[in-house]
């Protein structure tokens, strides 16, 4: 690339970043400020103007997709010679280095890389060898602890020394030691080892480090705010000789602490490289000024950050739309109807719904389906296709209808019952021969000649459990039945013991399923298990939606990083949800809330033209209505930027809106402004699973004066016993405050709480 005409199309800070070729350089790249353009053109400038040999350039990013995109852009700009540049991920870089030199550490260069399944199998074998109970110490928890240790470059001995007498950490350290010994014995490494062993190689073998320091005289690292301690040390060692290191990132978009990202790598860059030059890219090419002003105001409340202020030449744009609803049902209904109204030409790809947790997708998915609007979940799975939801629904199906062989086979070993594949195959053969359902064959396991007595004895507890649950269907509500299934199988208990981010997310999904069942019960006159399964079958069927690029996008805020949309709906803006209860109540609460605030900043800056923030005063949590305060992040946005002023008034005088929120959950076509759903007219909607068009509120509890008052002792089916401390007449219902003996203060509506005076 002979000319440098591209410099004329850059703003001053961008040109400064591109033309600074020598010494440490920190580029603070605000959201939408053109950092990828700067990185790729800086490579071209190094070659064209600074005379750097392409062979001496290393560009590192995090994902293969990002590396491929950067490689393509560099190839297009640089042309001849670009193939000599290493454009790669951290892990790919380390694999190439270790394939040549890992023998220095006692491994063979033909080592195997273990994936997560391989790791889990190895951990399981080690626990068996050490007589460690994997019901108490879950394999995934152990894997997570080992991975976190490696992120911080901690050896098994370091972890043991850091345990401080913590018995669990000591167990993890013991397993970690055996795990590493087994990996080496098998001539295998895991993904974390790729970086840790490369760092170890550089520290132990100076000649190897010197070779790669000479090879990579110019190093560039993208998304630097997401690096962990091990990745930082790798880069620091490589750059130590020539100091020509350029890192690009945004501390305000550091949102992966849970994956090991260390924000202090970018905040303290000048400490580790005292001669570093800092260039700030603050001009935004994505959003309107009102959106940027909101983002600037929110993030300015963080202490741990480098000061910057995004601005644009695109104009002020529309005010930010803010909507506060009585219920989560109102919220979801508004968002979907607003999308339908706004997408006048049926162009849905310009709309994104962003939320804090995956469990929040359910209400929006259902309403999008009801309105025949195509959607796509990014970084997640359709709510009803998630493993934990399919497992529990399979229990429901088996209890309701034992003829569903797929449902029975799905749950026969959930939880593990030791029923092997051979046993299942023999039962299946028997069922086929006798022309009976698989579950019926299980009930007659003792009569299967090919089945040994020991195998049959493992089947009995399962069929006994199903039969017991069937006997309860007559007198238990579907929600109570679901809770009994969860309790008896220990499903949530196992996830709690696992204690990982994935497990916590799955528990949130289960809580949302419970809320769904409770909402169904409140929307029909005679709730039944069959009716619930029928309703779920209708809203879970998304096969008919077209799989093209024209769809509304649903995703978590973490998945949204790096993307942009014309219209963004940031939903569930409530304290306890966003920021989460865990961050609010954490020991290091300020740091945790600052991470959540950075997540809010990422969400706000995804919007190009229109940003809508929504929250609900009432949200179903674990099947119980829970009142929520508006997120502090909304309050941090100046009212002058919002088109609707918010209020902290949490009285429920207008309880009609609360009841109407429950009506939306009845899936009445009238609730969505008319029209039909999958060919059903308003006159043909079934009563079971759907509310009648006339009298939608029949399923909602009517107002009754409680037989208790302030000062009385009461009991609750979930929270136990407590004392009534306040009561308020909210119009359609009484709002009751109870200080429970075990769980503290709870506020609830009397008709739903079903408190009993004691």
Q: Give the residue numbers marked as catalytic.
A: 35-36, 222-223, 253, 606
How is 658-704 classified by DSSP, letter by letter? HHHHHHHTTT-GGGGTS--BTTB-TTT--STTS--SS-GGGGSPPP-
Mention every residue, 6+ apart, whose C-beta is less than 8 A from residue 360.
Answer: 512, 571, 572, 577
Beta bridge partner(s), residue 371: none
Contact 205, 101 (CB under 8 A): yes
Contact 641, 294 (CB under 8 A): yes
The span from the CA of 758 to the CA of 582, in Å, is 34
Residue owning tokens 């409340």:
301
The span from the CA of 739 to the CA of 758, in Å, is 14
CB atoms within 10 A of CB 343: 17
Write the CA distances from 146 to 11, 160, 168, 172, 454, integer angstroms. Answer: 45, 12, 12, 7, 38
> How many residues are there in the chain?
758
Task: From 583, 677, 600, select the one nearest 372 (Cα to Cα).
Answer: 677
Ramachandran assignment for 562, one of left (phi > 0), alpha (psi -120 to 50 degrees), beta (any other):
left
The span from the CA of 374 to the CA of 364, in Å, is 12
β-pairing verdict for 756-757 and 713-716: antiparallel
How is 473-539 classified by DSSP, letter by letter? TTTS-HHHHHHHHHHHHTHHHHHHHH-SHHHHHHHHHHHHHHHHHHHHHHHSSS--HHHHHHHHHHH
Task: From 636, 645, 647, select the one nearest 593 (Cα to Cα).
Answer: 636
The span from the CA of 88 to the CA of 191, in Å, is 15
φ, ψ of residue 213 to 5 degrees: the values are -65, -35
Beta bridge partner(s), residue 625: 620
Contact 262, 591 (CB under 8 A): no
The span from the CA of 695 to the CA of 524, in Å, is 10
In the numeric block, which tokens belong to residue 640?
């002058």
């Amino acid at each position: 690339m002979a000319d440098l005409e591209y410099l004329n199309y850059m703003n001053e800070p961008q040109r400064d970043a591109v033309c600074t070729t020598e010494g440490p350089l920190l580029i603070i790249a605000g959201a939408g400020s053109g950092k990828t353009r700067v990185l790729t053109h800086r490579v071209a400038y190094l070659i064209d103007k600074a005379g750097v040999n392409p062979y001496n350039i290393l560009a590192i990013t995090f994902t293969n997709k990002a590396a491929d995109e950067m490689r393509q852009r560099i190839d297009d700009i640089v042309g001849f010679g670009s193939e000599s540049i290493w454009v790669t991920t951290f892990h790919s870089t380390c694999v190439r280095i270790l394939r040549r030199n890992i023998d220095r550490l006692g491994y063979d260069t033909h080592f195997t890389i273990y994936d997560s399944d391989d790791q889990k199998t190895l951990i399981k074998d080690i626990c068996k060898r050490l007589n460690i109970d994997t019901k108490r110490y879950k394999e995934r928890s152990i894997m997570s602890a080992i991975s976190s240790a490696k992120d911080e470059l901690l050896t098994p001995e370091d972890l043991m020394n850091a345990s401080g007498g913590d018995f669990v950490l000591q167990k993890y350290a013991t397993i970690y030691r055996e795990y590493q010994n087994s990996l080496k014995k098998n001539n295998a490494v895991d993904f974390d080892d790729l970086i840790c062993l490369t760092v170890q190689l550089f520290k132990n073998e100076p000649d190897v480090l010197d070779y790669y320091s000479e090879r990579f005289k110019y190093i560039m690292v993208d998304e630097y705010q997401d690096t962990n301690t091990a990745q930082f040390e790798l880069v620091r060692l490589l750059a130590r000789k020539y100091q020509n290191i350029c890192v690009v990132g945004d501390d305000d978009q550091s949102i992966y602490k849970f994956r090991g990202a260390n924000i202090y790598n970018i905040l303290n860059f000048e400490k580790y490289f005292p001669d570093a030059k800092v260039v700030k890219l603050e001009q935004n090419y994505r959003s309107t000024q009102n959106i940027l002003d909101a983002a600037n105001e929110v993030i300015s409340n963080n202490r741990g950050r480098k000061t910057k202020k995004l601005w644009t030449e695109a104009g002020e744009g529309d005010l930010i739309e803010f909507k506060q609803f009585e219920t989560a049902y109102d919220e979801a209904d508004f968002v979907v109807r607003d999308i339908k109204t706004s997408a006048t030409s049926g162009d849905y790809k310009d709309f994104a719904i962003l939320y804090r947790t995956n469990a929040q997708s359910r209400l929006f998915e259902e309403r999008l389906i009801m309105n025949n609007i195509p959607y796509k979940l990014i970084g997640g799975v359709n709510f009803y296709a998630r493993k934990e939801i399919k497992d529990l629904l399979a229990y429901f199906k088996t209890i309701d209808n034992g003829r569903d062989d797929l449902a029975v086979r799905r749950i026969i070993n959930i939880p593990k019952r030791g029923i092997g594949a051979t046993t299942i195959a023999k039962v299946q053969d028997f069922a086929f021969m006798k022309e009976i359902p698989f579950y019926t064959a299980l009930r007659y396991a003792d009569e299967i000649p090919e089945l040994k007595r020991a195998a049959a004895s493992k089947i009995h507890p399962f069929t006994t459990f199903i039969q017991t649950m069937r006997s309860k269907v007559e007198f238990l509500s579907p929600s109570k039945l679901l809770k009994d299934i969860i309790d008896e199988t220990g499903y949530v208990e196992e996830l709690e013991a696992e204690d990982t981010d994935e497990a916590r997310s799955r528990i949130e999904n289960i809580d949302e399923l419970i809320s769904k069942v409770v909402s169904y019960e409140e929307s029909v006159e005679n709730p039944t298990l069959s009716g619930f399964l029928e309703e779920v079958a209708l809203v879970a069927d998304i096969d008919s939606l077209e799989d093209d690029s024209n769809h509304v996008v649903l995703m978590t805020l973490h998945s949204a990083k790096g993307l942009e949309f014309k219209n963004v709906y940031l939903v569930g803006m409530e304290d306890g949800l966003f920021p989460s209860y865990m961050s609010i109540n954490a020991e290091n609460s300020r740091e945790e809330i600052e991470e959540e605030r950075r997540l809010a900043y990422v969400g706000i800056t995804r919007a190009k033209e229109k940003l809508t923030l929504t929250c609900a005063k009432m949200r179903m949590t674990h099947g119980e209505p829970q009142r929520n305060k508006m997120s502090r992040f909304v309050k941090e946005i100046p009212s002058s930027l919002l088109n609707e002023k918010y209020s902290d008034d949490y009285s429920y005088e207008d309880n009609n809106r609360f009841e109407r929120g429950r009506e939306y959950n009845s899936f009445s076509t009238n609730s969505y402004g008319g029209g039909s759903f999958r060919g059903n007219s308003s006159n043909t909607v079934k009563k079971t699973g759907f509310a009648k068009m006339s009298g939608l509120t029949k399923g909602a509890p009517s107002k009754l004066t409680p037989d208790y008052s302030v000062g009385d002792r009461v009991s609750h089916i979930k929270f136990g016993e407590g004392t009534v401390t306040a009561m308020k007449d909210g119009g359609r219902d009484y709002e009751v405050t109870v200080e429970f003996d075990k769980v503290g203060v709870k506020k609830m509506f009397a008709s739903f709480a079903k408190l009993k005076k004691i």
